[in-house]
Structure 1
Amino acid sequence: MPETPSASPTSPLDGLRFAFGTLTVVPVRVTRWDREAARGGMLCAPLAGLVVGAAAAAAGLLLLFLGAGPLLAAVATAAVPAVLTRGLHLDGLADTADGLGSGKPAEDALRIMKQSDIGPFGVLALVFVLLAQVAALAQAYGGSWARGALAAVVAAAAARTALTLAARTGAPAARPEGLGAAVAGVVPARGAAATALAGVVAAGAASGALLGPYGAAREALAVVVALAAAELLLRHCGRRFGGVTGDVFGGLAETAATTALVVLSLSPSPG
Protein backbone atom coordinates (compact mmCIF):
# COMPACT_ATOMS: atom_id res chain seq x y z
CA MET A 1 0.00 0.00 0.00
CA PRO A 2 1.22 3.56 -0.64
CA GLU A 3 2.74 5.34 2.28
CA THR A 4 1.97 8.72 3.76
CA PRO A 5 3.32 11.49 1.51
CA SER A 6 6.72 12.80 2.46
CA ALA A 7 7.49 16.47 3.01
CA SER A 8 10.79 16.16 1.12
CA PRO A 9 11.12 17.40 -2.47
CA THR A 10 10.03 14.99 -5.18
CA SER A 11 12.83 13.17 -7.01
CA PRO A 12 12.80 11.49 -10.43
CA LEU A 13 12.80 8.14 -8.63
CA ASP A 14 9.52 9.06 -6.96
CA GLY A 15 7.96 9.45 -10.40
CA LEU A 16 9.36 6.14 -11.63
CA ARG A 17 8.13 4.36 -8.51
CA PHE A 18 4.70 5.90 -8.95
CA ALA A 19 4.54 4.89 -12.61
CA PHE A 20 5.62 1.30 -12.12
CA GLY A 21 3.77 0.91 -8.83
CA THR A 22 0.42 2.02 -10.25
CA LEU A 23 0.65 0.87 -13.88
CA THR A 24 2.41 -2.51 -13.52
CA VAL A 25 2.86 -5.39 -11.10
CA VAL A 26 6.58 -4.66 -10.82
CA PRO A 27 7.26 -4.85 -7.05
CA VAL A 28 8.39 -1.29 -6.33
CA ARG A 29 7.94 0.67 -3.11
CA VAL A 30 5.77 3.73 -3.78
CA THR A 31 7.13 6.25 -1.30
CA ARG A 32 5.10 9.26 -2.42
CA TRP A 33 1.38 9.49 -3.16
CA ASP A 34 0.84 13.18 -3.78
CA ARG A 35 0.28 15.42 -6.79
CA GLU A 36 3.99 16.02 -7.38
CA ALA A 37 4.77 12.31 -7.43
CA ALA A 38 1.73 11.69 -9.63
CA ARG A 39 3.00 14.30 -12.11
CA GLY A 40 6.36 12.57 -12.34
CA GLY A 41 4.68 9.18 -12.53
CA MET A 42 2.43 10.09 -15.43
CA LEU A 43 5.34 11.65 -17.29
CA CYS A 44 7.20 8.35 -16.79
CA ALA A 45 4.21 6.26 -17.91
CA PRO A 46 5.66 5.64 -21.41
CA LEU A 47 8.78 4.14 -19.79
CA ALA A 48 6.56 1.65 -17.98
CA GLY A 49 5.00 0.93 -21.37
CA LEU A 50 8.38 0.19 -22.87
CA VAL A 51 9.09 -2.37 -20.16
CA VAL A 52 5.70 -4.00 -20.58
CA GLY A 53 6.08 -4.01 -24.36
CA ALA A 54 9.57 -5.49 -24.19
CA ALA A 55 8.33 -8.30 -21.95
CA ALA A 56 5.42 -8.95 -24.32
CA ALA A 57 7.75 -9.04 -27.32
CA ALA A 58 10.13 -11.38 -25.49
CA ALA A 59 7.30 -13.85 -24.86
CA GLY A 60 6.31 -13.82 -28.51
CA LEU A 61 9.87 -14.19 -29.76
CA LEU A 62 10.54 -17.05 -27.35
CA LEU A 63 7.61 -19.00 -28.74
CA LEU A 64 8.74 -18.32 -32.30
CA PHE A 65 12.23 -19.56 -31.37
CA LEU A 66 10.71 -22.74 -29.93
CA GLY A 67 8.87 -23.40 -33.18
CA ALA A 68 5.42 -21.94 -32.52
CA GLY A 69 3.53 -20.16 -35.25
CA PRO A 70 2.66 -16.45 -35.48
CA LEU A 71 -0.82 -16.95 -33.99
CA LEU A 72 0.41 -18.54 -30.77
CA ALA A 73 3.16 -15.93 -30.50
CA ALA A 74 0.50 -13.24 -30.89
CA VAL A 75 -1.66 -14.73 -28.13
CA ALA A 76 1.30 -14.78 -25.74
CA THR A 77 2.25 -11.22 -26.67
CA ALA A 78 -1.30 -9.99 -26.01
CA ALA A 79 -1.50 -11.90 -22.72
CA VAL A 80 1.67 -10.48 -21.15
CA PRO A 81 0.42 -6.87 -20.78
CA ALA A 82 -2.76 -8.19 -19.17
CA VAL A 83 -0.69 -10.15 -16.66
CA LEU A 84 1.71 -7.28 -15.97
CA THR A 85 -1.20 -4.93 -15.22
CA ARG A 86 -3.32 -7.47 -13.30
CA GLY A 87 -5.88 -6.98 -16.05
CA LEU A 88 -6.69 -3.50 -14.75
CA HIS A 89 -6.64 -1.83 -18.14
CA LEU A 90 -8.90 -4.48 -19.64
CA ASP A 91 -11.20 -4.18 -16.64
CA GLY A 92 -11.24 -0.41 -17.12
CA LEU A 93 -12.09 -0.85 -20.79
CA ALA A 94 -15.02 -3.11 -19.91
CA ASP A 95 -16.34 -0.76 -17.22
CA THR A 96 -15.99 2.26 -19.50
CA ALA A 97 -17.88 0.44 -22.26
CA ASP A 98 -20.66 -0.44 -19.81
CA GLY A 99 -20.87 3.15 -18.60
CA LEU A 100 -20.97 4.60 -22.09
CA GLY A 101 -23.30 1.95 -23.42
CA SER A 102 -25.80 2.38 -20.61
CA GLY A 103 -26.98 5.70 -22.06
CA LYS A 104 -27.71 6.89 -18.52
CA PRO A 105 -26.83 10.26 -16.94
CA ALA A 106 -23.30 10.72 -15.60
CA GLU A 107 -24.08 9.83 -11.98
CA ASP A 108 -25.84 6.59 -12.91
CA ALA A 109 -23.21 5.68 -15.50
CA LEU A 110 -20.43 6.14 -12.93
CA ARG A 111 -22.33 3.93 -10.50
CA ILE A 112 -22.59 1.23 -13.17
CA MET A 113 -18.86 1.47 -13.78
CA LYS A 114 -18.10 0.90 -10.09
CA GLN A 115 -20.06 -2.34 -9.95
CA SER A 116 -17.95 -5.50 -9.79
CA ASP A 117 -19.79 -7.34 -12.55
CA ILE A 118 -19.29 -6.83 -16.29
CA GLY A 119 -22.27 -6.03 -18.49
CA PRO A 120 -22.91 -6.91 -22.14
CA PHE A 121 -21.17 -3.82 -23.51
CA GLY A 122 -18.08 -4.62 -21.47
CA VAL A 123 -18.02 -8.23 -22.66
CA LEU A 124 -18.32 -7.18 -26.29
CA ALA A 125 -15.56 -4.59 -25.89
CA LEU A 126 -13.20 -7.13 -24.36
CA VAL A 127 -13.90 -9.79 -27.00
CA PHE A 128 -13.43 -7.53 -29.99
CA VAL A 129 -10.42 -5.67 -28.60
CA LEU A 130 -8.55 -8.86 -27.72
CA LEU A 131 -9.44 -10.43 -31.07
CA ALA A 132 -8.18 -7.34 -32.88
CA GLN A 133 -4.94 -7.30 -30.90
CA VAL A 134 -4.22 -10.98 -31.52
CA ALA A 135 -5.11 -10.77 -35.22
CA ALA A 136 -2.92 -7.70 -35.77
CA LEU A 137 0.01 -9.19 -33.87
CA ALA A 138 -0.29 -12.47 -35.77
CA GLN A 139 -0.05 -10.58 -39.04
CA ALA A 140 2.97 -8.66 -37.78
CA TYR A 141 4.77 -11.83 -36.67
CA GLY A 142 3.84 -13.43 -39.97
CA GLY A 143 5.73 -10.63 -41.70
CA SER A 144 8.88 -11.01 -39.62
CA TRP A 145 9.96 -11.42 -36.02
CA ALA A 146 11.19 -7.82 -36.00
CA ARG A 147 7.82 -6.42 -37.10
CA GLY A 148 6.02 -8.43 -34.45
CA ALA A 149 8.37 -7.42 -31.66
CA LEU A 150 8.30 -3.75 -32.65
CA ALA A 151 4.52 -3.79 -32.86
CA ALA A 152 4.31 -5.10 -29.30
CA VAL A 153 6.68 -2.45 -27.94
CA VAL A 154 5.18 0.45 -29.89
CA ALA A 155 1.61 -0.47 -28.91
CA ALA A 156 2.46 -0.72 -25.20
CA ALA A 157 4.36 2.57 -25.22
CA ALA A 158 1.58 4.33 -27.14
CA ALA A 159 -0.95 3.04 -24.62
CA ARG A 160 0.91 4.62 -21.69
CA THR A 161 1.63 7.81 -23.63
CA ALA A 162 -2.14 8.15 -24.00
CA LEU A 163 -2.33 8.11 -20.19
CA THR A 164 0.18 10.95 -19.97
CA LEU A 165 -1.96 13.02 -22.33
CA ALA A 166 -5.12 12.14 -20.40
CA ALA A 167 -3.53 13.38 -17.15
CA ARG A 168 -2.83 16.82 -18.58
CA THR A 169 -4.09 20.07 -17.13
CA GLY A 170 -7.69 20.71 -18.10
CA ALA A 171 -8.89 17.10 -17.93
CA PRO A 172 -10.84 16.94 -14.64
CA ALA A 173 -11.64 13.93 -12.49
CA ALA A 174 -15.20 12.58 -12.58
CA ARG A 175 -15.00 11.46 -8.95
CA PRO A 176 -13.27 12.98 -5.90
CA GLU A 177 -11.56 9.67 -5.09
CA GLY A 178 -9.67 6.90 -6.85
CA LEU A 179 -6.73 6.79 -9.25
CA GLY A 180 -8.46 9.11 -11.70
CA ALA A 181 -8.69 11.83 -9.06
CA ALA A 182 -5.06 11.24 -8.04
CA VAL A 183 -3.64 11.85 -11.51
CA ALA A 184 -6.22 14.04 -13.27
CA GLY A 185 -4.74 17.35 -14.36
CA VAL A 186 -1.29 16.75 -12.86
CA VAL A 187 0.72 17.01 -16.09
CA PRO A 188 1.26 20.45 -17.68
CA ALA A 189 -0.12 20.56 -21.21
CA ARG A 190 3.30 21.34 -22.69
CA GLY A 191 4.90 18.46 -20.83
CA ALA A 192 2.22 16.07 -22.08
CA ALA A 193 2.67 17.29 -25.67
CA ALA A 194 6.45 16.96 -25.42
CA THR A 195 6.11 13.41 -24.12
CA ALA A 196 3.79 12.50 -26.99
CA LEU A 197 6.14 14.02 -29.55
CA ALA A 198 9.08 12.15 -28.05
CA GLY A 199 7.09 8.92 -28.32
CA VAL A 200 6.37 9.46 -32.00
CA VAL A 201 10.01 10.28 -32.75
CA ALA A 202 11.31 7.33 -30.72
CA ALA A 203 8.94 4.90 -32.45
CA GLY A 204 10.08 6.13 -35.85
CA ALA A 205 13.77 6.03 -34.95
CA ALA A 206 13.68 2.53 -33.47
CA SER A 207 11.69 1.17 -36.39
CA GLY A 208 13.87 2.90 -38.94
CA ALA A 209 16.95 1.20 -37.54
CA LEU A 210 15.40 -2.25 -38.06
CA LEU A 211 12.93 -1.80 -40.91
CA GLY A 212 14.16 1.21 -42.86
CA PRO A 213 12.45 4.52 -43.71
CA TYR A 214 9.12 2.95 -44.59
CA GLY A 215 9.04 1.14 -41.27
CA ALA A 216 9.89 4.35 -39.44
CA ALA A 217 7.00 6.21 -41.07
CA ARG A 218 4.61 3.33 -40.43
CA GLU A 219 5.38 3.03 -36.72
CA ALA A 220 5.30 6.80 -36.18
CA LEU A 221 1.94 7.02 -37.94
CA ALA A 222 0.60 4.20 -35.77
CA VAL A 223 1.46 6.15 -32.62
CA VAL A 224 -0.13 9.35 -33.94
CA VAL A 225 -3.37 7.60 -34.89
CA ALA A 226 -3.42 5.68 -31.60
CA LEU A 227 -3.10 8.87 -29.57
CA ALA A 228 -5.77 10.54 -31.69
CA ALA A 229 -8.19 7.66 -31.06
CA ALA A 230 -7.51 7.83 -27.32
CA GLU A 231 -8.06 11.59 -27.39
CA LEU A 232 -11.45 11.14 -29.03
CA LEU A 233 -12.45 8.65 -26.34
CA LEU A 234 -11.13 10.96 -23.61
CA ARG A 235 -13.24 13.86 -24.85
CA HIS A 236 -16.32 11.69 -25.19
CA CYS A 237 -15.89 10.37 -21.64
CA GLY A 238 -15.35 13.91 -20.40
CA ARG A 239 -18.69 14.93 -21.88
CA ARG A 240 -20.52 11.82 -20.66
CA PHE A 241 -19.04 11.42 -17.18
CA GLY A 242 -17.86 14.95 -16.40
CA GLY A 243 -14.21 13.89 -16.31
CA VAL A 244 -11.89 10.90 -16.10
CA THR A 245 -11.79 7.92 -13.77
CA GLY A 246 -9.36 5.06 -13.28
CA ASP A 247 -11.59 2.97 -15.54
CA VAL A 248 -11.42 5.60 -18.26
CA PHE A 249 -7.62 5.53 -18.06
CA GLY A 250 -7.71 1.78 -18.59
CA GLY A 251 -10.04 2.19 -21.55
CA LEU A 252 -7.76 4.80 -23.07
CA ALA A 253 -4.73 2.53 -22.76
CA GLU A 254 -6.44 -0.41 -24.46
CA THR A 255 -7.90 1.83 -27.15
CA ALA A 256 -4.50 3.29 -27.99
CA ALA A 257 -2.75 -0.09 -27.98
CA THR A 258 -5.38 -1.70 -30.20
CA THR A 259 -5.47 1.22 -32.62
CA ALA A 260 -1.69 1.17 -32.99
CA LEU A 261 -1.71 -2.54 -33.75
CA VAL A 262 -4.55 -2.23 -36.25
CA VAL A 263 -2.82 0.61 -38.08
CA LEU A 264 0.35 -1.46 -38.30
CA SER A 265 -1.62 -4.41 -39.68
CA LEU A 266 -3.06 -2.15 -42.39
CA SER A 267 0.41 -1.03 -43.49
CA PRO A 268 2.27 -4.00 -44.96
CA SER A 269 5.81 -3.61 -46.15
CA PRO A 270 6.19 -2.68 -49.81
CA GLY A 271 6.45 -5.54 -52.25
Structure 2
Amino acid sequence: MQSLIIAFAMYSRIPMPRADWNDKNMRYAFCWFPVIGLVIGLVTGAVFYILTEWQVGSVFRGVCLTAVPLWITGGIHLDGFMDTTDARSSYGDREKKLMILKDSHVGAFAVIGCGIYMMLSVGAWSEIDADGIRIMIMAFVLERALSGLAAVNFKGARKDGMLTAFREPARKRMVTVVLVTEAIAVACVMCYLWLPGGVLCCIGALLMFSFYYKIAMKEFGGTTGDLAGWFLQNCELVMLFLTVCSKYLFASI
Protein backbone atom coordinates (compact mmCIF):
# COMPACT_ATOMS: atom_id res chain seq x y z
CA MET A 1 0.00 0.00 0.00
CA GLN A 2 2.93 2.34 0.61
CA SER A 3 4.05 1.71 -2.98
CA LEU A 4 0.54 2.50 -4.22
CA ILE A 5 0.50 5.78 -2.30
CA ILE A 6 3.93 6.76 -3.62
CA ALA A 7 2.97 5.96 -7.22
CA PHE A 8 -0.20 8.08 -7.05
CA ALA A 9 1.56 10.88 -5.18
CA MET A 10 4.28 11.07 -7.83
CA TYR A 11 2.33 10.57 -11.03
CA SER A 12 -1.03 12.17 -10.24
CA ARG A 13 -2.58 15.10 -8.40
CA ILE A 14 -4.95 12.84 -6.49
CA PRO A 15 -4.55 13.56 -2.75
CA MET A 16 -2.79 10.71 -0.95
CA PRO A 17 -1.91 9.96 2.69
CA ARG A 18 1.66 10.57 3.75
CA ALA A 19 4.17 7.80 2.97
CA ASP A 20 7.87 7.35 3.61
CA TRP A 21 9.77 7.57 0.31
CA ASN A 22 12.38 4.93 1.11
CA ASP A 23 13.78 2.05 -0.95
CA LYS A 24 11.53 -0.52 0.72
CA ASN A 25 8.32 1.36 -0.08
CA MET A 26 9.39 2.29 -3.62
CA ARG A 27 10.39 -1.19 -4.79
CA TYR A 28 6.94 -1.99 -6.20
CA ALA A 29 5.77 1.52 -7.11
CA PHE A 30 5.86 0.84 -10.86
CA CYS A 31 3.44 -2.08 -10.40
CA TRP A 32 0.77 0.47 -9.51
CA PHE A 33 1.50 2.83 -12.40
CA PRO A 34 -1.12 1.21 -14.68
CA VAL A 35 -3.74 1.65 -11.95
CA ILE A 36 -3.31 5.40 -12.31
CA GLY A 37 -4.10 4.88 -16.00
CA LEU A 38 -7.27 3.01 -15.05
CA VAL A 39 -8.41 5.91 -12.88
CA ILE A 40 -7.71 8.35 -15.72
CA GLY A 41 -9.56 6.10 -18.15
CA LEU A 42 -12.63 5.74 -15.95
CA VAL A 43 -12.85 9.48 -15.33
CA THR A 44 -12.40 10.14 -19.06
CA GLY A 45 -15.14 7.63 -19.85
CA ALA A 46 -17.49 9.20 -17.31
CA VAL A 47 -16.89 12.68 -18.76
CA PHE A 48 -17.56 11.32 -22.27
CA TYR A 49 -20.90 9.77 -21.31
CA ILE A 50 -22.00 12.83 -19.31
CA LEU A 51 -21.17 15.25 -22.14
CA THR A 52 -22.77 12.93 -24.70
CA GLU A 53 -25.91 12.76 -22.57
CA TRP A 54 -25.95 16.56 -22.41
CA GLN A 55 -25.54 16.65 -26.21
CA VAL A 56 -22.72 19.18 -26.14
CA GLY A 57 -20.78 19.99 -29.31
CA SER A 58 -18.10 17.56 -30.42
CA VAL A 59 -15.33 20.18 -30.26
CA PHE A 60 -16.14 21.14 -26.67
CA ARG A 61 -16.27 17.46 -25.77
CA GLY A 62 -12.89 16.97 -27.42
CA VAL A 63 -11.39 19.82 -25.39
CA CYS A 64 -12.73 18.38 -22.13
CA LEU A 65 -11.49 14.86 -22.90
CA THR A 66 -8.05 16.24 -23.75
CA ALA A 67 -7.96 18.11 -20.45
CA VAL A 68 -8.94 15.20 -18.18
CA PRO A 69 -5.61 13.28 -18.27
CA LEU A 70 -3.65 16.53 -17.93
CA TRP A 71 -5.73 17.60 -14.95
CA ILE A 72 -5.34 14.27 -13.14
CA THR A 73 -1.59 13.95 -13.80
CA GLY A 74 -0.80 17.64 -13.34
CA GLY A 75 0.85 17.63 -16.77
CA ILE A 76 3.95 15.77 -15.55
CA HIS A 77 4.13 13.63 -18.70
CA LEU A 78 3.40 16.54 -21.03
CA ASP A 79 6.30 18.37 -19.41
CA GLY A 80 8.55 15.48 -20.40
CA PHE A 81 7.10 15.52 -23.91
CA MET A 82 7.93 19.23 -24.27
CA ASP A 83 11.46 18.87 -22.90
CA THR A 84 12.17 15.93 -25.20
CA THR A 85 10.74 17.78 -28.19
CA ASP A 86 13.11 20.65 -27.44
CA ALA A 87 16.08 18.31 -27.10
CA ARG A 88 15.39 16.34 -30.27
CA SER A 89 14.75 19.51 -32.25
CA SER A 90 18.21 20.82 -31.37
CA TYR A 91 19.86 18.13 -33.54
CA GLY A 92 22.83 18.38 -31.18
CA ASP A 93 24.99 15.58 -29.88
CA ARG A 94 23.97 13.32 -27.01
CA GLU A 95 25.43 15.52 -24.30
CA LYS A 96 23.71 18.63 -25.61
CA LYS A 97 20.36 16.85 -25.74
CA LEU A 98 20.72 15.61 -22.17
CA MET A 99 21.66 19.12 -21.11
CA ILE A 100 18.51 20.51 -22.73
CA LEU A 101 16.41 17.91 -20.88
CA LYS A 102 17.74 19.25 -17.57
CA ASP A 103 17.16 22.89 -18.55
CA SER A 104 14.08 24.31 -16.80
CA HIS A 105 13.47 26.88 -19.55
CA VAL A 106 10.90 26.24 -22.28
CA GLY A 107 12.14 26.52 -25.85
CA ALA A 108 10.26 27.49 -28.99
CA PHE A 109 10.13 23.93 -30.32
CA ALA A 110 8.57 22.71 -27.07
CA VAL A 111 5.77 25.29 -27.39
CA ILE A 112 5.23 24.48 -31.07
CA GLY A 113 5.23 20.75 -30.38
CA CYS A 114 2.79 21.13 -27.50
CA GLY A 115 0.48 23.29 -29.60
CA ILE A 116 0.41 20.74 -32.43
CA TYR A 117 -0.11 17.91 -29.95
CA MET A 118 -3.07 19.67 -28.34
CA MET A 119 -4.75 20.40 -31.67
CA LEU A 120 -4.35 16.80 -32.81
CA SER A 121 -5.59 15.50 -29.47
CA VAL A 122 -8.68 17.73 -29.42
CA GLY A 123 -9.48 16.80 -33.01
CA ALA A 124 -9.18 13.08 -32.37
CA TRP A 125 -11.11 13.12 -29.08
CA SER A 126 -13.92 15.04 -30.79
CA GLU A 127 -14.32 12.08 -33.18
CA ILE A 128 -14.44 9.35 -30.52
CA ASP A 129 -17.59 7.23 -30.19
CA ALA A 130 -18.91 4.75 -27.60
CA ASP A 131 -16.85 1.82 -28.94
CA GLY A 132 -13.76 3.97 -29.07
CA ILE A 133 -14.08 5.36 -25.55
CA ARG A 134 -14.17 1.84 -24.12
CA ILE A 135 -10.92 1.06 -25.92
CA MET A 136 -9.29 4.29 -24.75
CA ILE A 137 -10.24 3.65 -21.12
CA MET A 138 -8.03 0.56 -21.31
CA ALA A 139 -5.41 2.30 -23.47
CA PHE A 140 -4.43 4.52 -20.53
CA VAL A 141 -3.62 1.35 -18.61
CA LEU A 142 -1.67 -0.31 -21.44
CA GLU A 143 0.58 2.65 -22.12
CA ARG A 144 1.54 2.90 -18.44
CA ALA A 145 2.30 -0.81 -18.23
CA LEU A 146 4.65 -0.41 -21.21
CA SER A 147 6.16 2.75 -19.73
CA GLY A 148 6.84 0.93 -16.46
CA LEU A 149 8.48 -1.95 -18.33
CA ALA A 150 10.76 0.51 -20.11
CA ALA A 151 11.60 2.28 -16.85
CA VAL A 152 12.89 -0.87 -15.14
CA ASN A 153 14.43 -2.61 -18.16
CA PHE A 154 15.83 0.09 -20.43
CA LYS A 155 19.29 1.44 -19.75
CA GLY A 156 19.28 4.78 -17.93
CA ALA A 157 20.80 7.77 -19.71
CA ARG A 158 22.17 9.18 -16.45
CA LYS A 159 22.73 8.18 -12.84
CA ASP A 160 20.50 10.83 -11.29
CA GLY A 161 16.95 12.06 -11.82
CA MET A 162 13.49 11.03 -10.65
CA LEU A 163 13.23 7.99 -12.94
CA THR A 164 16.52 6.66 -11.54
CA ALA A 165 15.24 7.22 -8.01
CA PHE A 166 12.26 4.96 -8.79
CA ARG A 167 14.19 2.41 -10.89
CA GLU A 168 17.11 1.72 -8.54
CA PRO A 169 15.13 0.28 -5.61
CA ALA A 170 12.67 -1.60 -7.87
CA ARG A 171 12.57 -5.40 -7.70
CA LYS A 172 13.21 -5.71 -11.42
CA ARG A 173 12.10 -9.32 -11.97
CA MET A 174 8.92 -9.09 -9.91
CA VAL A 175 7.96 -5.68 -11.32
CA THR A 176 8.55 -6.93 -14.87
CA VAL A 177 6.35 -10.00 -14.34
CA VAL A 178 3.54 -7.89 -12.86
CA LEU A 179 3.68 -5.27 -15.62
CA VAL A 180 3.79 -7.87 -18.42
CA THR A 181 0.79 -9.61 -16.86
CA GLU A 182 -1.08 -6.32 -16.63
CA ALA A 183 -0.22 -5.42 -20.23
CA ILE A 184 -1.39 -8.80 -21.57
CA ALA A 185 -4.56 -8.70 -19.49
CA VAL A 186 -5.55 -5.20 -20.61
CA ALA A 187 -4.72 -6.03 -24.25
CA CYS A 188 -7.09 -9.00 -24.05
CA VAL A 189 -9.79 -6.77 -22.56
CA MET A 190 -9.34 -4.23 -25.36
CA CYS A 191 -9.70 -6.93 -28.00
CA TYR A 192 -12.73 -8.36 -26.22
CA LEU A 193 -14.45 -4.98 -26.06
CA TRP A 194 -13.94 -4.32 -29.77
CA LEU A 195 -11.69 -6.68 -31.70
CA PRO A 196 -10.65 -4.50 -34.69
CA GLY A 197 -10.00 -1.39 -32.62
CA GLY A 198 -8.34 -3.32 -29.80
CA VAL A 199 -5.96 -5.18 -32.10
CA LEU A 200 -5.03 -2.02 -33.99
CA CYS A 201 -4.35 -0.10 -30.78
CA CYS A 202 -2.21 -2.88 -29.31
CA ILE A 203 -0.12 -3.04 -32.48
CA GLY A 204 0.27 0.73 -32.46
CA ALA A 205 1.34 0.71 -28.80
CA LEU A 206 3.97 -1.98 -29.43
CA LEU A 207 5.34 -0.13 -32.45
CA MET A 208 5.55 3.07 -30.42
CA PHE A 209 7.30 1.14 -27.64
CA SER A 210 9.87 -0.12 -30.17
CA PHE A 211 10.35 3.41 -31.53
CA TYR A 212 10.79 4.71 -27.98
CA TYR A 213 13.60 2.23 -27.37
CA LYS A 214 15.30 3.19 -30.62
CA ILE A 215 15.13 6.94 -29.92
CA ALA A 216 16.21 6.57 -26.29
CA MET A 217 19.24 4.42 -27.06
CA LYS A 218 20.35 6.10 -30.28
CA GLU A 219 19.87 9.75 -29.39
CA PHE A 220 20.19 9.83 -25.59
CA GLY A 221 22.11 6.70 -24.64
CA GLY A 222 19.23 5.49 -22.48
CA THR A 223 15.95 6.60 -21.05
CA THR A 224 15.06 9.41 -18.63
CA GLY A 225 11.93 10.67 -16.91
CA ASP A 226 11.39 13.21 -19.68
CA LEU A 227 11.68 10.52 -22.35
CA ALA A 228 9.20 8.39 -20.44
CA GLY A 229 6.73 11.29 -20.53
CA TRP A 230 7.41 11.78 -24.25
CA PHE A 231 6.62 8.11 -24.88
CA LEU A 232 3.46 8.18 -22.79
CA GLN A 233 2.00 11.21 -24.58
CA ASN A 234 2.90 9.89 -28.03
CA CYS A 235 1.60 6.41 -27.28
CA GLU A 236 -1.68 7.90 -26.08
CA LEU A 237 -2.03 9.97 -29.25
CA VAL A 238 -1.15 7.03 -31.52
CA MET A 239 -3.74 4.77 -29.89
CA LEU A 240 -6.31 7.56 -29.97
CA PHE A 241 -5.82 8.09 -33.70
CA LEU A 242 -5.93 4.35 -34.39
CA THR A 243 -9.16 4.08 -32.40
CA VAL A 244 -10.72 6.87 -34.45
CA CYS A 245 -9.47 5.28 -37.68
CA SER A 246 -11.03 1.97 -36.59
CA LYS A 247 -14.35 3.77 -36.31
CA TYR A 248 -14.30 4.39 -40.06
CA LEU A 249 -12.41 1.31 -41.24
CA PHE A 250 -14.46 -1.24 -39.31
CA ALA A 251 -17.74 0.58 -38.80
CA SER A 252 -19.79 -2.49 -39.73
CA ILE A 253 -17.97 -4.93 -37.42
With the shorter chain as reference, the TM-score category is 0.7 to 0.9
Root-mean-square deviation (CA, aligned residues, Å) is 2.1
Which residue number corresponds to residue 10 of structure 1?
none
Are 1:234 and 1:248, in contact at CA under 8 Å, matched by a contact in 2? no
Structure 1 residue aligned with 2:149, among 146, 158, 165?
A: 165
Equivalent position amino acid for 1:161 in 2: A
Question: 1:34: Cα distance to partner?
Answer: 4.1
What CA deviation, in whole Å up to 9, does each residue of 1:70-108 have, x standing for no partner? Answer: 221121011011111111111110101111221222222
CA contact (8 A) 2:145 2:183 kept: yes
**Cross-structure match for 1:267:** 246
Question: % of aligned pairs identical?
Answer: 26
Q: Do structure 1's residue 108 and structure 2's residue 110 form an aligned pair?
A: no
**Which of the numbers 118, 139, 152 marks the counterpart of 1:155?**
139
Tell me which residue corresponds to 2:117.
129
Of 185-194 and 43-52, deviating more is 185-194
Q: What CA distance in whole angstroms lies between the structure 2 residues aligned with 1:192 and 1:267?
A: 27
- Aligned mates of 2:132, 2:197 — CA distance in 1: 13
User: What one-letter code is carried by the residue in structure 2 that aligns with 1:242?
Assistant: G
| Counterpart residue type for residue 233 of structure 2 | E
How many residues align? The count is: 246
Gap regions ≥5 residues in structure 1:
1-12, 208-214
Letter in 2 for 1:154: M
Contact 1:154 1:203 in 2 (8 A): yes
Q: Distance in 2 between matches of 1:88 and 1:74?
A: 21
> Residues 134 and 178 (structure 1 numbering): CA distance in 2 closer, same or farther, change over 3 Å?
same
Between the aligned partners of 2:243 and 2:201, the Cα distance in structure 1 is 6
Distance 1:254 1:73, change over 3 A: same
> CA separation of 1:119/1:139 partners in 2, compared to 1, >3 Å: closer, same or farther?
same
- The higher relative CO (CA closer than 8 Å, separation ≥ 6) is in 2
CA distance in 2 between counterparts of 1:66 and 1:178 reads: 44
- 2:92 aligns to what SS in structure 1? coil
1:105-127 deviations in Å (ceiling 9; x for gaps): 22221121222222233223222
Unaligned 5+ residue runs, structure 2?
A: none
